[in-house]
């Protein structure tokens, strides 16, 4: 448990180290906001064999970390400061520190890299576009038209009424969206690590930042856009996109080209959790990237 200070007092966040590699130490930023590290446990099947050291980490408000009841804490700037405090406590620096962010963690990792690039060795952005409005456009122009329109109307009706806790809403999302674009497996076959993480999502963090809808962004992150700033991140950067993702893979590939030292990994069979439904492609590319850093010293 790492102590962190915030404008609202001191709290503790949970971390766990796996492996020992002086040259490559990966801090894993989970999605949500308000999800948990647990769905990232897929890395256990690949990174240890490659000799990569990595750190699980539950952000404040998530799972095994403190969960204060204060909406003022659910702010992007404060989360960036939290990551910097965690980095310092773990003793990570520009000689070894690789920051990995998946989904919302990709927003957080990008923002951290823009503000604290001097501490980074490399960056990985997985399954996250670099503009939340562009993410909404993709959902509205590509994903929603491909859905069963009667089911989509029913989903939107629940959202308009603020009834997203209704079991029917979640049933429709699972049938019409999740198994197509979040994790392309029958729901009953989803890995335990994924279901544990989904069960623990802290809605008090998720809804204010993401918004109540699962088909787009409407919370405080809506205006986030760093498409014009990626040239400022000079460290080696891997961007991971997937064919069936909620995030536009064409956008992801184009943005990878805006990093001075960017690389793109495409998962042709993957969705938002491509680390499960296109696992071999995902981890072959990720491990190749991380081991190239190790060889570079």
Name the pairing type of β-strands 9-18 and 2-6. Answer: antiparallel
Q: What angle (nearest 5°) sits at the alpha carbon of residue 184, between those of residues 178 and 262? A: 95
Which residues are known catalytic residues? 103, 245, 272
The H or E element containing residue 13 is: strand 9-18
C-alpha span between 275 and 280 (Å, rounded): 8
Output the six-digit token pair for 61.
Answer: 């408000």
Contacting residues for 136 by C-beta, under 8 A, at least 6 apart = 216, 217, 222
How far, in Å, are 28, 158, 201, 231, 293 from residue 31 at the CA level? 10, 24, 10, 24, 24
How far, in Å, are 36, 178, 181, 277 from residue 244 at the CA level? 23, 11, 5, 10
Number of CB atoms found within 10 A of residue 186's CB: 9
């Amino acid at each position: 448990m790492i102590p962190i200070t915030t404008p609202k007092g001191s709290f503790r966040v949970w971390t766990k180290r796996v492996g020992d590699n002086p040259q490559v130490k990966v801090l894993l930023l989970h999605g949500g906001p308000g999800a948990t590290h647990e769905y990232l446990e897929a890395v256990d099947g690949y990174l240890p064999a490659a000799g990569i050291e990595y750190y699980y980490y539950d952000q404040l408000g998530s799972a095994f970390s403190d969960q204060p009841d204060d909406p003022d804490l659910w702010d992007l700037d404060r989360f960036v400061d939290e990551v910097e405090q965690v980095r310092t406590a773990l003793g990570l620096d520009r000689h070894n520190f690789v920051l990995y962010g998946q989904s919302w963690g990709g927003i957080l990792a990008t923002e951290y890299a823009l503000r604290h690039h001097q501490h980074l060795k490399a960056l990985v952005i997985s399954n996250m576009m670099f503009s939340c409005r562009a993410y909404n456009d993709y959902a509205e122009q590509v994903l929603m038209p491909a859905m069963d329109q009667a089911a989509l109307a029913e989903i939107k009706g629940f959202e308009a009424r603020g009834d997203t806790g209704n079991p029917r809403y979640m049933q429709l999302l699972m049938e019409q969206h999740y198994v197509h674009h979040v994790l392309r497996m029958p729901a009953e076959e989803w890995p335990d690590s994924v279901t544990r993480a989904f069960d623990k999502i802290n809605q008090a963090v998720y809804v204010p930042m993401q918004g109540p809808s699962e088909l787009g962004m409407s919370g405080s992150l809506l205006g986030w856009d760093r498409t014009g700033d990626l040239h400022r991140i000079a460290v080696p950067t891997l961007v991971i996109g997937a064919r069936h993702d909620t995030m536009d893979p064409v956008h992801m590939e184009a943005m990878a080209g805006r990093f001075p030292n960017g690389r793109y990994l495409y998962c042709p069979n993957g969705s938002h959790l491509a680390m499960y439904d296109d696992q071999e492609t995902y981890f072959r590319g990720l491990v190749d990237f991380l081991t190239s850093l190790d060889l570079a010293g």
